[in-house]
Structure 1
Amino acid sequence: MASSGAQGLRRCAGRAVLCCVVLTVCGAAAAGQIRYSIPEEMQKGSFVGNIAQDLGLEAKELSERGVRVIFRGRTQYFALNAKSGHLITAERLDREQLCGRAEKCLLNCEVIVEHEMKLYGVEVEITDINDNAPSFQTGEMELKVSETTAPGSRFHLRNAQDPDLGTNSLQSYKLSSNEHFSLKVQTASGGFKYPELVLEKPLDREEQATHDLILTATDGGDPVRFGTARIHVVVLDANDNAPVFSQPLYRVSVRENVPVGTTVATVKATDLDEGVSGDVIYSSQITDQASQVFQLDSRTGDITVFRNLDFEETKLYEMQLQAHDGGGLFDRSKVEISVSDVNDNIPEIRITFPLSSVPEDSPPGTVIALLIVQDQDSGENGAVTCTIPDHVPFRLQKSVDNYYSLVTARDLDREQVADYNVTVTARDRGAPPLWSATTIAVQVSDVNDNAPAFSQAAYSVWVSENNARGASVFCARAADADWGDNARVTYWLAEGELQGAPLSSWLSVQAESGAVHALRALDYEQVREIRFAVEARDGGSPPLRSSASVTLLVLDQNDNRPEILYPAAPRDGSTGVELAPRSAEPGYLVTKVVAVDADAGQNAWLSYELLKASEPGLFALGVHTGEIRTARALGDRDALKHRLVVGVRDNGQPPLSASVTLTVAVADSIPELLADLGSLAAPAAEAQASLTLYLVVAVAAVSCLFLAFLIVLLGLRLRRWRQAQLLGSAGGALAGVPVSHFAGIDGVRAFLHSYSQDVSLTAGSRKSQWSFGPPSSAGTLARPPAGQGKEPAPVVEDSNMCEADQAALQVSRRFCTL
């Protein structure tokens, strides 16, 4: 047998090679479909087809053009050899495993050429080879035949199985030679063959008690494969006595709560024969329902429970029993098993037609739900009573049989309790009693019976001035105890006026949130408070409303700088001048700085500070009064004018400030002040003329080293001639000068600079005349009395003026030009 198997494998291999060669030649990529055919059981890496040739490509072009194989399933049965261009198997292929008994076994995949975007279908047929021998389910079969069996009787044998197809599948059966039995092969629809054993000659147990036969099944493959099974025929003794039950009918009662495995009944049948003919075997012919609950022991006749009994499911079971001996004789009996009830079912509560919600204004007696209460037990075990808690505003009302209605017992108020969970308890009268409970969710729907309510009837709100336009200054919130649209509150501003304008131009209320927005930037200096009313209305039908009064108090911010009223700032940019007599004692009131602040509270608390003084310690400033007083007595050495910078600051956060510059002139009168200022200017001019002379002399001395005496003499005459041309007459007066023109940053110079000037000098009359034009602006000080200062004292000069006189003249000229 082993040699024949090896020979068959060699033949199979030869056929596989021949088939591959033929199919390779026949495979072609016609209409985008490539077909191959290979036998099953080829080893991994076996040749399937030449993909490169069928696609019209060289093997080296496969990788260049991106040729690859794609499978639809998870298992990859084939692979592409990039070097040879061959399609090879990726694993061993078993046709019976892949396709079963299908007539054709086809495996599909796709070959894609990525660079050309072409797709070719590949279909590989796996052909069958005779790789499976016929086999029986069991290698040995036992058959019992009575010695009284008539010739020609047939006995069914188990058939063999062969997963191969066609001629490779099961073809015939053969029985080993035997004089008592023969083999007959029956063919069913679809070509299925099954064997039957035929009794040809009567059996005699005393002559031969057993017969051993060999059944062989063969296929039509090349090489032929076969399978065998041993048939053991046991000849039975003749049986002339049938078994007899002790009772024709057995009646049994059992409680439904008996445990599984309990024996509920035992049947008994006797046979007068001996040996095999006297061995009684019990069997049952029962309904499917009983067969799932009871089990019959074929040897002992015990009937046991192997599944829990249920009285409510089945109250009575019937079983038809048979007792047969080894010779085929039998007797019949019947068993009736009645199940008695125990209290093992809890009451069931079913809710029908429940209301999803009930309005809170529903009258008492409104039906909420209909309940059906059932208990599958019987008698007292099935008698049920239902109850609900006492604290809920509902009650149970029994109608017909096991029907109950859940109705309202009193008025409902959703604002107090919005929903109820009503627990319905059903309890039977069993021993012990069983009960069940279910919860009915009752939702109370809202009715618009509550108006919106503000937390306060009146509100006081503080907001800082200079708020941003549109900024939220207050949120009016009203609560509504209702639900849904009935509790959806909208807000609006009640009509009113403020400073002659509609209130809606000052404030707005957002309808959904109640936020009050200021449409203008509020100014504490203009509006100190705004009184208005906010109304709230719900969305019910009809709607309910309420209102609240709001007082909006504007808080001051430090947004105004101190304003200095005195001294007023001059329009020409000069500073004010205040007089202080030289005889002033310490504490003398020179002047007072007066300032105001438009803010309120501590933002308007002003403090004064001396920021800068030309002579520190001479003047003192009142911090809260703004009074400027002398801190000590004035002396002769003190300057004629003093410059003071006074700062005014409020008490806000951050503080704001302003400043003013004052000039304090020390003199008993205005003429004295002018005379003192003139005497101060002369020494300064003299010193300047001396410096100029020194420079001229130095230059002339250096020039004399290089020029002759004549050149020096000529230069001196030319210098004298030039001086003679420059001499002239001039006159002037200070009469009619307003005191206000002493105000300025540089004192007297500012006063003189505000006038046009005309200066001339006459050498012959030896007089200098000074004249001034009219003032350019009104003054702050009083004019001198009439008749004073109209004619200024004449200034007499010699024609042969010395260098000191010329320096004084230059000082006078400069004084006038300033």
Structure 2
Amino acid sequence: MAGRRLHYQKRILLCFILVSVWEASSGQIHYLIPEEMEKGSFIGDLAKDLALNIKELPSSEVQIISRGMNQYFDLDLRNGHLFVNEVIDREQICHQMEKCLLNVEILVKDKMKFFTIEVEITDINDNSPSFPVDDLEFKIAENTGPGARFLLPEAEDPDLGTNSLQSYHLSKNKHFSLDVQMGVDGVKYAELVLETLLDREEQKMYHLILTAADKGDPIRSGTVQIRIAVTDVNDNAPVFSKSLYEASVMENIPKGSQVLTLNATDVDEGINSKIKYLFRKSSDKTSKIFHLDSSTGQISVIGNLDFEDSKLYEMEVQAQDGAGLSTRVKVVIRILDANDNAPEITITPLFSKVLESSPPGSVIALININDRDDERNGEVICSIPATLPFLLRKTFDNYYSLETDQGLDREKVSEYNITITVTDQGTPSLSATAYFPLEILDENDNPPIFQTTDLTFQIAENNQRGDLILTLKANDPDFEENGRIMYSIIDTNIGDALLSSHLSINSETGAVYALSSFDYEEFREIKFQVKAQDGGSPALSSNVSVTLLILDQNDNAPQILYPSNPTDGSTGVELAPHSSEPAYLVTKVVAVDADSGQNAWLSYQLLKATEPGLFSIGLHTGEIRTARFFLDKDALKQSLVVLVKDNGQPPLSASVMVTVVLADSIPDILTDLSSVSATADPESDLTFYLVVAVAFVSCLFFTFLLVLLAIRLHRWRTSQLCDSQSVNFNGVPVSQFVGIDGVRAFLHSYCHNGSLTTCSRKSQILFPIGSCTSTLAPQQTSDKSGPLLSLEDSSTAKELQNSEQVSFILYS
């Protein structure tokens, strides 16, 4: 309808300007408007046409009284204009009436005036011709002579005049033509005329298109497909005994009652004389009310007749013989008004309980309706609520059968209390009510249903055996055993073990328990399916997929990969050149954690160092770098304790000791380590004791030299001898292998030749041969009258005098 309004919008607006208004001598005003005008469209200036004062309209009590159920018009009191209040469909209101009038009564209460307005609704071409069927099939014998006629379906167009059906057209062919005639009722109908003989062996089937068109603006049309099957024989068409059949029935006629019987005859014999009756032209409403017996031609009532709804039914009936020839006749049924009196209801129950699987049409009870009135006052209407899945079917006389109209569902409604109401047609109308209780028995027609097909749950690792993990719940709307649900786990493999060795489920509650302690590092998720099965027969079931995520816990301490812990008790040594600048990368501590997430986030820190502030370590990288330049006072051997800690709660940690030696190369390590104290522990006093011991030995040796020199001088003075004597110094045996804090190094004896100057701070004299102080220069020695020393070996003394050096034995 909306499409037609848009299509004819322009035409409606033009017609709106051309609305005709005139006032008859009786005071009646007549307006002419087209149908399908939009809501709010202007009809006429009612205030001007009725000579009403616009300013007085709001204060006057003006009332519009429309004849009919719908309020199609309304009055604007601000300007006195009459406008459309509801879209008007002329075909729905006036059907085929040539003149469609709607009466509007205007009552002005303060002036006690009553005006009658007549609005005529003109037709527009808003309906296309349509055929009652989409396709039609004829069977024509090949020996059918030219001139044979075949009645074609008549198109319908509810419009009027040129907007209604005007012509028929047949698709072009060489065997058939179209003959359009005017019937006694003034309606055009078309017949298919055979022009030439048909040859079945040449062509068995013909396809034609029949088109019906009007002459509206624009032109509208409708089509029907015609299939013609050529048969071997054909004969005469049926003939009705009347050209028009008429009947009158009461509106309260019982369902199944006969209205009239059609009679058609065929002079042929055998199957060609067997006539079949069928509705050729009828509306959907008509076909729901009347039934035509195809073999007897009897028309009976199958629906409820209502005189106030429709007073007349027109239809066309076609009589067709076995050879496909047919004829038509018009049938007119008039409905007569009637009423009834109070009825009595007697219910004979057949079943008080029915299965929900009962098929539609199952008879539940028989109902007898009795009314003491006679004739039309004894006719009754029996009904049940339309919302119930049941229907009443009349069997015979005043008996009805209560039947199921559709499938029942106990899960929606488990029992019904059916209300049966019988109303007569009397004046006043009386009715009776009866109640029929019906229980619906359950069947196992619903499987258990989970809320979702996929579920995900979480559980922390290291759980206790027997812990409740989750509870699954399925719903089954069935009753008792049909709704009792049993749960089970569909067993699968998890790694090398069966799922049943890890999980179990309570078959009644759906609670899933852990049979083992899960380890996140072994597997991180478990996927399995749970089956829910009811106790019906046959049993119904459904599955749900469950994903159990194992959550990591901080149950693994960091593992240090480098430096690795040696098996012989040593700590390993890292080199740091003396010239290292700040941020010089000395080494890197490498650690891993078997956990995941923040439990595996590692941080590094220096827990202990020989020289605090000399080295720094990356918080997240583990890189050990120099924090400043090396100083002479820094110990050559630095021991660092590195702590590796994860980010779990509570955190777990591991530690490792890293030994860093301040040297440029491996030989330097050995040299430097010989002067390093036997301990690297900054908290130990061993270094202090060693320094004191060395100082004491040096002083003792210096005293010994002084005493020895005094003795020699005394002897020289007394003997005045210039003999040279040798002095023997016995070296202290040196062990060939020394271990310092687990660092193993070979000990080498080095003999350094040099002048008697202050010893280097890096050398530690274990047993000196000469004094660490300066001796007399060679020139001073030559000025003496005698030798300073008396040596036993003259060659040795000579060598000492020439070289002016003293040998020292050092430990590395």
Q: Same fold (TM over 0.5)?
A: no
Give the TM-score of the pair, scaled to structure 2: 0.39
Give the TM-score of the pair, scaled to structure 1: 0.39
| Higher Rg of the two aligned structures | 1
